Amino acid sequence: MTRSEALLAAKKDFLVPCVYHFYQRPPVLVRGEGAYLFDSEGRRYLDCFCGVTVVSAGHSNPEILEAAIDQLRRLQHTTTIYLTEPMFDLARAIAELTPPPLRRSFFCASGSEANEGALMLSALATGRQECVYLREGLHGRTKWAMNVTGLDMWRTDPQPLTTAHAVPGPRHPDSLPALERLLRSEKIAAVIAEPIQGNGGIVVPPDHYWPELRRLCDQYGTLLIADEVQTAWNRTGRWFALQHWQVVPDIMTVAKALGNGFPIAAYITSDALAAHYTRPGAATFGGNLVSCRAALATLEFHRRHDLGRRSETLGKHLTERLRQLQQRHPIVAEVRGLGLMLGMELRNADGSPANERTDAVLEAMKDAGFLIGKTGPGRNVLTFLPPLIVEAAALDEMVDALDRTLG
């Protein structure tokens, strides 16, 4: 039995069956370095999925590890009920990056928790109980976060909330009109949306979308929550993706790449909105010392290496290369995205989602040494989210392998 087979057997015995893995023959990953992962048999893979947009500064980044190990040696954990410095330093560092008036952070451990907290704050601040979300969006696994998740695949709640209302996704012509019909009730506390839908298949809204969404929320006294869990921290070529459209949300949620692999998340809001949450609130792992030190080192690494510009430049290059493949392979319906958050949609000749072919491509690319992702409601969007430190030549090798695989 290979190590991979042994783990798949153990999975049947010990894990909840919902835990799923990519690939028919999944490798057992044992080591990471920079843009590369290594399996138990010593094979090397270019990581073009980053543990879903997490390891933007590269695997085992020495500067980030150094900060985390230093903190581990001093003091690992206290929780937010004690005063420790890293959480305050991180809150200050984030406030220097977020657009005003966003400057107050509540730290927690996952994107789901951050969204759950943001939705609760919106209800506290407005006195309203209902919310609106977009089809094909994804916001997490907790009660509220799952109920505002529009992707069917990730909606498991047997008793869905009746206070969460879906509208069509951002490229659908009825998205904003449907939203306005709901906002007119003046019962909606918040609209929650991803600037670019990640799990929905890298869906970039038309340019008017976010400014118009902001305007509608203002008109009806509804708060705007931007879920930047995937898109923040230079993934799209800006610190925050909404900066592409000069829109400032009322609450922003962040997680994933903030800790470059150390669990940390937050919702970030203004003084005025934060003032509504005065009852005690604590998170056991919120503001964890090691995660905060790692996050501070991550932000410093991004700043010093100008990863925003790198993401933008490499993203343009990769988009161009992927579009060349689109011209050669009729199965490629569309290439889209911003910065190094890119998707390639595969469709069959009859227009249906080519999900089986997507799986086959994913498997063949893995066997060729490239880990790419797949997303979208039809599971037919090849997804490219490489570390922002990746070299252009490595991306070119990946595109050449994809060209051969699609052929």
Ligand X SMILES: Cc1ncc(COP(=O)(O)O)c(C=O)c1O
In the complex with ligand X, which residue's Cβ is closer, 146 or 273?
Answer: 146
- C-alpha 401/C-alpha 165 separation (Å) is 42
The token pair that represents 346 in the structure block: 């595969």
Residues at the contact surface with ligand X, assessed by CB under 6 A: 52, 110-112, 115, 138-141, 194, 198-199, 227, 229-230, 255
Closest residue to ligand X, Cβ-based? 111
Q: How far is the CB of 368 from ligand X (least distance, A)?
A: 26
Q: How far is the CB of 5 from ligand X (least distance, A)?
A: 27
The closest of 255, 256, 274 to 265, measured between CA atoms, is: 255
With 0-12 CB in 10 A as exposed, 13-18 as middle and 19+ as buried, what is 314? buried
Query: What does DSSP assign to residue 358?
Result: H
Q: How far is the CB of 385 from ligand X (least distance, A)?
A: 10
DSSP readout, 243-306?
A: GGGT---SEEEE-GGGGBTB--EEEEE-HHHHTT--S----TTTT-HHHHHHHHHHHHHHHHTT
Q: How far is the CB of 256 from ligand X (least distance, A)?
A: 7
The strand pair at 36-39 and 341-346 is best described as unpaired
Q: How far is the CB of 1 from ligand X (least distance, A)?
A: 31
In the complex with ligand X, which residue's Cβ is closer, 110 or 405?
Answer: 110
Distances (CA, A) of 349 to 138, 200, 332, 353, 403: 29, 22, 10, 10, 18
Q: How far is the CB of 94 from ligand X (least distance, A)?
A: 17
Sheet containing strand 381-384, strands side by side: 332-338, 341-346, 381-384, 373-375
Residue 166: in which H helix or E strand, if any? strand 164-167
In the complex with ligand X, which residue's Cβ is closer, 27 or 198?
Answer: 198
In the complex with ligand X, which residue's Cβ is closer, 332 or 341?
Answer: 341
In the complex with ligand X, which residue's Cβ is closer, 8 or 52?
Answer: 52
In the complex with ligand X, which residue's Cβ is closer, 194 or 250?
Answer: 194
3-state secondary structure of 337: strand
